[in-house]
Chain A
């Protein structure tokens, strides 16, 4: 019930709106309840023969008047209440997104994006149903019901009222009784549909495998099974909902029969007038819809409490990474990083992902981190970015514990390229200049040149204004990564972290980009601005070979370190991988390398590459 607070405080905040809206809706319904009564007394006057044409005009005019007033007040009230309800959905969505913006990756690991979206859509919509439709229907239904019962019981005959209204009052009970069962069964058929969706998805995405094994008939029979389950579950749902659909009119009709039989009898006995009888039959017809709605309101309340609780819980999640309490060091980052015997394990895990890691990077230097999948290299990046908090006293930026910086300062000073080159569905320019509210196109172009993607971009029909599509689907993997790197450079931060960001870029372009980057951060280079510290994480050794220091991670430990030449000469893991990746593991001395300078190999930087390779081999030989 905690969640209900959200709604209560919202209504309290807008109490005047709700007061006016609810009174108008109730007023409209109270007026509507007068019409059968009016027709009843019209009947009596007509029968008594004391009805002149002016009285008749009076009756007709009164009905028109009541109609106009009740429709317009009811309408106005409903518009008001609905309006406020929609505003609540808007507000809740904003609040949810704001909350999500503060939560760290560990939250995103535990919750799927689909679930989160269903919070922002379905749960919020259910709440909206409660505060708009729910309130409207409850108010108008109750007002009409009470007015009808009051008028009938007071003015006519309470026994007839009981007989006529009794069966109708069962309708909300029916809704309450069958509603949840119907909803449960509806969920089951949705799940059955979900199973079919999953099967179809798997088959279509794996269609090559299906066809390659000639197993179309197997997947077809799997699909048929899923479809049959849907039919079964839906039929169960249909049986329930059809029962409900038939019971509601049955109740109304039974009420009508009581009124017809008992009421008719009372008229012949002169206990009630013909007008009362007429009014009664009209009330039975009039109340059918409001009573169905009242039952529905009960279900809305039930359903929305669950949704409200989920939303409330979400809004109360405490972010795992927060600014520390106490004084913080609020100054720009310079680009000196020092990690001292860092060990780390994820919460809820019993295994160290990183143990005893130490290294340092100075402005203008490049650090390479190499390791297999699961060796902890991405975790290291997560800690530097403070997506997770490292332990106290293990990571220092410019000589101060990283935990003593405000998050906003820290993230201002770090630029990052993710593995998948994640892009947003906006223009190329907006993606490169993501760190700016209004991206500077000249600067973006400079960055795109550095990452060798400028030529691709200007080949697009709308150049830098080209929309990249959802998550950049309109670009190739390599283009996405190069734009993501341009985005990093654009940010011009003291630290640059690249997490396996060149995996989809071919090796020659990779060399080009790395060379350009080195130019940019090399001491004394003509590039303006302070020196940057660069960290390159990769499983491809070619990406890190020029780094000032390379550390090799294995199961969270540093197993080798040094620059390319020393690592090659050590003949350890690095060296063996280097030769394997170069495709020369089983080769003898390649006699042809000497002529390589003469061959026309178009990439300017390939020669340098080969020199380094040779240097490594020479040292190995010595």
Chain B
């Protein structure tokens, strides 16, 4: 039943795309039939030569040469048609996969952060890359080979029936055993192949892990032990591949044998027929020719079954993704208010999973230009508040109101451009420094990028790069230090000139000296903006106008540094402990 539904899913995903290429697909079918026909006419031509021009009283060599010349014309035509047909079919496949990929990617971009938090990057990647590629194989391998194979089989049967009905029917007796054989083989190969893939995956995983951890292996002096563990996995893979190979060769050789037996049977029965005068020799020849061609399409089709299986699985996964409903939606006709930077949390609660709230009834009013720090242990709800202000998630109850308007009634893009966020992990893309800062939006001028970089103090190190602003960042900026990357991300936020700026542990992974440079940048950047800072070290939030101490999803204290110290409450304790708890493991 499961298989049934996934098959339906496969059809459902592809059908609309296939429909838009209906006429081209019909053309391809027509071309395939023409090409196969020209190819299959060969034994029939020989039969004609034998019966009409050779084994007659007056052999006609002129007619034979004429026939050869005419067939040459057909063959050249077939050459052109084959080429054209292949290109048309592949183009259909490629453009369908292209639209699928783009639709899928657009859809994924529309999904809310919840989707990305719940699905690993690896899974999403598989969806966008491998699953669509599997569908590409569906067209390039499965469809083209199957179309050709099926039409070949049908046409061979037609030719046989045309030549002699009773011999043809005898030959068709071969079909059931060959089909049964092919199905059995198919099943076997599927299981064997799955096992090979699995064991190969194990070996790759083992190698990947041990190569990245080779230092540990060497330091603990366990090379021999790991070699032995590889041997176990490698041997298992060896056994599986040898088995797979044996099955392939078995099937291949059995069909070959079938071919020879069929020819022998034709010689026996057909020979008698020729002597008895019931059939001509040419007909017997043609049958021999056709029966030899009979097995090739069956071989080809059964080899494509793996492709078909994996594309069914793939398209099932794709359609499931396409059915995901984005849970953050823009209200129709939403309009942004005049942005000043006033934030109000009105009895806000949030639960990522139903029944497990992480924020409880938070009330907080932040005035434009106010600087607010948030402290608390991991899991206290600091980042969750930011997720609500940026509307990465929607509140479970209550409301987040920015400049008098519920964020759910803001246009998403306007909201996110009014609220800038700098995170601990800086995301850089492969491209130039310039493009990274302006986020690949070429309408933002280079001057503006420069201004931003000068303001945050990033320009000196950018100019030190080989090509300055045009330096291409390789491997997501791994050549830059953590501090430099963070400076770039400050500059990036400035480009968009948000009224509200969130620093989410922006300086957590930096050493003290780099942090100092960044603190200065923060000072310059935060002028005239509402600033929300999630702190890692108390020193970062000391100068804030207000500090909110969060504990288990509630604001337990708030006030300025001095006020909070005087309270001798939670903040005071944290302060005494000297360091904030980084992570509660």
Contacts and interface: CB of A to CB of B under 8 A. Distances in A.
A166 B217 CA distance: 60
Contact of B64 (A222, A224, A265, A477): A265
A46 interface: yes
B42 A200 contact: no
Interface in B238-279: 238, 241-242, 245-246, 249-250, 253, 256-257, 259-261, 263-265, 267-268, 271-272, 274-275
Closest 6 pairs between A and B when the two form their complex, measured CB to CB: A478-B585, A67-B260, A261-B68, A206-B427, A583-B538, A268-B59
Interface in A214-260: 214-216, 218-220, 222-224, 227-228, 230-231, 234-235, 238-239, 241-243, 245-247, 249-250, 253-254, 256-258, 260
Contacts of A117: 204, 207-208, 211
26 contacts: A56-B268, A60-B271, A67-B261, A68-B260, A74-B253, A94-B231, A101-B227, A102-B223, A120-B207, A206-B428, A207-B113, A209-B423, A213-B439, A227-B101, A246-B83, A261-B67, A264-B65, A274-B54, A278-B46, A411-B221, A434-B222, A470-B209, A478-B583, A505-B582, A507-B578, A599-B576
B272 A238 contact: no
B102 interface: yes
Given A101-B214, A220-B105, A268-B59, A116 B207 contact: yes
Contact of A238 (B91, B203, B221, B582): B91
- Residue of A198, A577, A583 contacting most chain B CB atoms (<10 Å): A583
B18 interface: no
Given A64-B261, A424-B216, A456-B585, 16 more contacts: A86-B238, A108-B215, A193-B133, A198-B430, A202-B430, A212-B420, A219-B109, A249-B79, A261-B68, A268-B60, A477-B585, A503-B582, A507-B581, A583-B538, A592-B568, A599-B576
B106 A220 contact: yes
B440 interface: yes
Interface in A496-521: 503-509
B225 interface: yes
A101 B221 contact: no
Interface stretch (A77-85, A154-162, A301-309, A391-399): A77-85
A577 B575 CA distance: 16
Interface string B288-323: 110011000000000000000000000000000000
B260 A71 contact: yes
A411 B281 contact: no
Contacts of B55: 47, 274
A418 B215 contact: yes
A234 B429 contact: no
B124 interface: yes
B267 A56 contact: yes
Interface in A58-97: 59-61, 63-64, 66-68, 70-72, 74-75, 78-79, 82-83, 86-87, 89-90, 93-94, 97
Nearest to A437: B225
A204 B227 contact: no
A590 B572 CA distance: 11
Size category of the binding interface on chain A: 35 or more
Contacts of B205: 425, 470
A208 B113 contact: yes
Given A227-B98, A506-B584, A583 B537 contact: yes
A82 B244 CA distance: 11
Interface in B122-163: 124-125, 128-129, 133
Nearest to A603: B577
A257 B72 contact: yes
B209 A425 contact: yes
Interface stretch (B20-28, B359-367, B411-419): B411-419
A334 B503 CA distance: 50
B178 interface: no
Contacts of A424: 209-210, 213, 216
A46 B281 contact: yes
A456 B234 CA distance: 34
A75 to B, nearest CB: 4
Interface residues of B, number: 152
A446 interface: no
A97 B256 contact: no
Contacts of B293: 285
A147 to B, nearest CB: 16
Interface stretch (A10-18, A35-43, A354-362, A525-533): A35-43
Nearest to B121: A204
A430 B441 CA distance: 51
B581 to A, nearest CB: 4
Contacts of A51: 271, 275
Contacts of A247: 79
Given A101-B214, A117-B207, A63 B102 contact: no
B539 interface: yes
Interface in A368-397: 372-374, 385, 387
B476 interface: yes
A3 B222 CA distance: 30
Nearest to A426: B229
A214 B336 CA distance: 14
B125 A201 contact: yes
Interface in B444-488: 476, 481-482
A476 B583 contact: yes
B527 interface: no
B71 A507 contact: no
Contact of A264 (B64, B83, B420, B565): B64
A254 B78 CA distance: 12
Contacts of B242: 82-83, 86
Given A46-B275, A86-B238, A201-B121, A243 B83 contact: yes
A264 B61 contact: yes
Contacts of B548: none
A122 B168 CA distance: 47
Interface string B84-106: 00110011001100100110011
A211 B113 contact: yes
A53 interface: yes
B522 interface: no
A506 B584 CA distance: 6
